[in-house]
Structure 1
């Protein structure tokens, strides 16, 4: 029995009333495993030291940077051209972010990529892996990039807090926009 036939039967048994692109998910998982194995191989070949325990400051820095880069890639209006082949615009959701839907039709892989690129939670695993690999292979550059992403994330929260404080100070009839 061919793999495609098995996947079709498995998909039908798994989610008979909903489109679940299991083959696309397998392709994404295979790609992720290849990337992770590639990072590990490069670290080994280049004799880069892998810490027994990452420093708490690195974990915090990469956590915040992962959050920001995941949202930037998956929701920011400016990065929508990266997602456009796999998603379609739905509506703005505020703070420069947009809601998008996975495009109908196309291959299971295309559908899975669309889900990955439009979901900050899904994309965070990939981003964290890349940043963690970067911390081993190019720690100074990775910390610099992560610091910039962290600064933007903190700035975003400060901007939102400022907007809330301004609305509270001026009341709901202030017009809703802040500058």
Structure 2
């Protein structure tokens, strides 16, 4: 173990002596996010695309709902569980085609940090929003189209749940 690794381990132990926290995995995630954001900015600069002075309210609403849906699809959907499986373990169904999973204790801070990231729709939202926002600058028509599909799915999910509640109420359940 190098002195840098030893210092990182000591810092992690001092930070959370009673529970393992994957601080080095979080550092890698933050660095990767920074690289993603810098890459999007560089791509915009190189291609001559500029960010709008002020995004339209319609784009903000569209990307907000699309971010919500895509974050939940990645973090919770049954169909995307193969993407999470190397980092998580299935625990139980969570209703409406969603799953609860726990992060695998693999001994790797990086693997643990990725597991925490991809099982948390709140954590993923900043990544998804950054990607969609970058897409809005670099490929606005395609991004709006994809965001529209995600937004329509999110609205449909809400309507399906509202219908189910109304049906149960009408049947006296």
Question: What is the TM-score normalised by the length of structure 1?
Answer: 0.94
Task: Give the root-mean-square deviation of aligned CA atoms.
Answer: 0.8
Residues 124-167 of structure 1: CA deviation (Å, up to 9, x unaligned): 01000000000000000000000000000000000000011011
1:77 match: secondary structure: coil
Poorly superposed stretches of 4+, deviation over 6 Å: none
Separation in 1 of the partners of 2:27 and 2:81?
Answer: 25
77-86 vs 163-172, greater mean Cα deviation:
163-172
Residue aligned with 2:144, SS: helix
Q: Deviations over 1:33-58 (max 9, x none)?
A: 00100000000011102111111100
Aligned to 1:17: 18
Q: Distance in 2 between matches of 1:109 and 1:53?
A: 37
1:117 correspondence with 2:118: yes
CA distance in 2, matches of 1:110, 1:28: 10
Q: Paired residue for 2:158?
A: 157
**Are 2:151 and 1:145 equivalent residues in the alignment?**
no
- The aligned runs of 1:1-179 (5 Å cut-off) are 2-172=3-173
- Taking structure 2 as the reference length, what is the TM-score of the superposition? 0.97
Q: 1:112: Cα distance to partner?
A: 0.3
Gaps of 5+ in 1: 173-179
The alpha-carbon deviation at position 2 of structure 1 amounts to: 2.2
- Give, in whole Å, the separation in 2 of the partners of 1:160 and 1:84: 27
Distance in 2, Cα, partners of 1:142 & 1:44: 18
Shift of 1:72: 0.4
Deviation at 1:171, TM superposition (A): 2.1
Q: Deviations over 1:16-74 (max 9, x none)?
A: 00110000000000000001000000000111021111111000000000000000000
> Displacement of 1:100 after TM fit?
0.4
Post-superposition offset of 1:91: 0.3
Q: Distance in 1 between matches of 2:4 and 2:129?
A: 31
